[in-house]
Amino acid sequence: MLGVSWDTVRLFLHVLAATVWVGGQITLAALVPVLRRIGGTVPAAAARRFRQVAWPAFGVLVITGIWNVVAVRPQIHGRYETTLIVKLVVVLISGLTAFLHERARSKLGLAVFGALTAISALAALFLGILLAG
Ligand code: HEM
C-alpha cells in the first residue's frame, strides 16, 4: 500500500468538499423537476437542506485551498500563478452568486444566479485539476 502523507489528507479534503459543492448543485438541479411535482414548496425545502452541507463544504474548500497554496508556494509563478488567480476569481464568483441565488425573489434571479453558481463551480473544478496536473 502507498503511504498516506499530509498532502494526501489535504487533497482528499479539498476534493471531497469540491464533490459536495459542485456535485451537490448538479444533483439538486436534476432533482428539482421531480420535487416540484411532489409539491410547490418541496424544492425550496430541499434547497434549504442542501445549503446546510453546501456552505460548510465551501468553507472547507477555502481552508484547504489556503493550505494548498502554502503547500505549493514554490510553484506559484508564471502561468501557474495566473491560473491560480483566475481560479480564485472564479471561486469568489461561485460563492457570491450562490449567496445572491439564495436571496433572489424572482424566478429570473433564481435561474440566472443559480446558473452562474454552477458554471463558476465547474470552472473552479477544471482549474483545480489544471493546477494539480
Ligand atoms: C469552488 C471552489 C473550489 C473547487 C471546486 C476546487 C477544486 C479543486 C480540485 C478538484 C483540485 C485538484 C486536486 C487534485 O487533483 O489533486 C484543486 C487543487 C487546488 N486548489 Fe482548489 N478548489 C476550489 C477552491 C480553492 C480555493 C478557494 C483555493 C485557494 C485559496 C484553491 C487552491 C487550490 C490549489 C493551490 C490547488 C493545487 C493543489 C496541488 O497541486 O497540490 N482551491 N482544487
For residue 96, give the nearest of 119, 80, 76 by alpha carbon.
Answer: 119
CA 72 from chain centre, in angstroms, equals 21
Pocket test residue of 5, 76, 85, 87 for ligand 1, highest count of atoms within 8 A of CB: 87
CB burial class (10 A; 0-12, 13-18, 19+) of residue 79?
Answer: exposed
Read off the DSSP letter of residue 112.
H
pLDDT tens per residue, range 61-75: 999 999 999 999 999
Residue at 1 is within a domain: no
User: What is residue 71's predicted lDDT score, i.e. its pLDDT?
Assistant: 97
What are residue 106's phi and psi, to 5 degrees?
Answer: -105, 155
- Residues 72 and 19: their CA atoms lie apart, in Å, by 22
User: What is residue 16's predicted lDDT score, i.e. its pLDDT?
Assistant: 98
Pocket of ligand 1 (CB under 6 A): 11, 14-15, 18, 21-22, 61-62, 65-66, 68-69, 71-72, 84, 88, 91, 94, 121, 124-125, 128-129, 131-132
User: What is residue 55's predicted lDDT score, i.e. its pLDDT?
Assistant: 98
Cα maximum dimension of the chain? 53
Residue range(s) defining the domain that contains residue 124: 6-132
Closest atom of ligand 1 to CA, residue 7:
41
| Secondary structure of residue 36 in the 3-state scheme | helix
Work out how many domains the chain is built from and give that number.
Answer: 1
The predicted model gives 72-84 an average pLDDT of 97
